[in-house]
Amino acid sequence: MDSSPAGSSDPGNVGDLDGMGASGDLDAPPDLDDLDALADLDARIAGCRACPRLVAWREEVARTRRAAFADQTYWGRPVPGYGPADASLLIVGLAPAAHGGNRTGRMFTGDRSGDVLYAALHDVGLASRGTSVSADDGLELYGVRVTSPVHCAPPANKPTPGERDTCRPWLVRELELLRPTLRSVVVLGAFGWQAALPAFAAAGWTVPRPRPVFAHGARVSLGAQDGPSARSVELFGCFHVSQRNTFTGRLTPAMLRDVLRTAAGAAGLTTRPYDG
């Protein structure tokens, strides 16, 4: 199975993970101003090693693997955002899953959360297929990009505030590069919400004070800081597509489709009615 995400460097293998730290690897997010293409950012992020705890965890998981995936080569590195560089709708999650994105090398790919998210995107006409199993499965997103404020899989799905802050420059640069086309954002869960607001402020949008509180269905306009001709973005809150939320019915497919359809409308994207 090819687990190399499109646009990123070769995933190597478990043996290669032992040798990481050689040329191309980064002990901290570098000065990212020189990166003026999203594909370059996506490729560069895969070499980041700025968070020792997360580096150790992602590589340990890649070595030991889950029994069901024992014959697969895990990606075991930071997972870049996925979707076109001229996306007008951005979906912001939390962090890659240990045996999902950390295995396949693509956001929300290879786990139950991704199944829910991409099924909903396909239902409303924003994805070419409703499943996301590997980086080479042919999935295309239409006007939509998916990213996260933390790009490495954390133990227990819980990055620390320090890790969130260390990873922020990657999200800020991603937002800056998307800025010419970005019109709306769906943030999945409170952690993503709290991480995204300062990133938007750093990337050139005005975040209201006091900071808006996360809620499912929340909608906030973030004005552009640099003049009336600059475009604002609409920020939407949505419960995370975690198994806990979807198994308990806290977030239903219909609720997710509703948020995606509203956010797509704010982004000027055309969706289709869902009749399933």
Q: Provide the minimum distance between the beta carbon of 246 and ligand SF4 in the complex, in angstroms, as a whole number.
A: 25
Between strands 184-188 and 89-92, the pairing is parallel
Distances (CA, A) of 156 to 27, 34, 76, 96, 160: 23, 34, 16, 11, 11
User: Whose Cβ is closer to ligand SF4: residue 32's or residue 54's?
Assistant: 54
Binding residues for ligand SF4 (CB under 6 A): 29, 45, 48-51, 54-55, 78, 150-152, 163, 166-167, 170
Q: At closest approach, how far in Å is the CB of 150 from ligand SF4?
A: 5
In the complex, minimum distance from the CB of residue 110 to ligand SF4, in angstroms, rounded to a whole number: 18
C-beta closer to ligand SF4: residue 93 or 143: 93
CB of 3 to ligand SF4, least distance (A): 17
Q: CA 78, CA 153: separation in Å to the nearest integer?
A: 8
By C-beta, is 122 or 151 nearer to ligand SF4? 151
> Nearest distance from residue 148's CB to ligand SF4, in Å?
9
> For residue 152, what are the CA distances in angstroms to 40, 95, 162, 164?
18, 6, 13, 10
Nearer to ligand SF4, 59 or 115 (CB): 59
∠ CA 64-69-72, nearest 5°, is: 85
To ligand SF4, the closest distance from the beta carbon of 159 in angstroms equals 7
Query: Which CB atom, from 170 or from 200, has the smaller least distance to ligand SF4?
Result: 170
**Residue 161 or residue 217: which is nearer to ligand SF4 going by CB?**
161
Backbone angles phi, psi at 237, to 5 degrees: -90, 140
**Residue 164 and residue 242: Cα distance in Å, rounded?**
19
C-alpha distance from residue 60 to each of 70, 73, 160, 235 (Å): 14, 13, 18, 36
The full 3-state SS of 119-170, as one line of letters, equals HHHHHCCCECCCCCCCCCCCCCECCEEEECCCCCCCHHHCCCHHHHHHHHHH
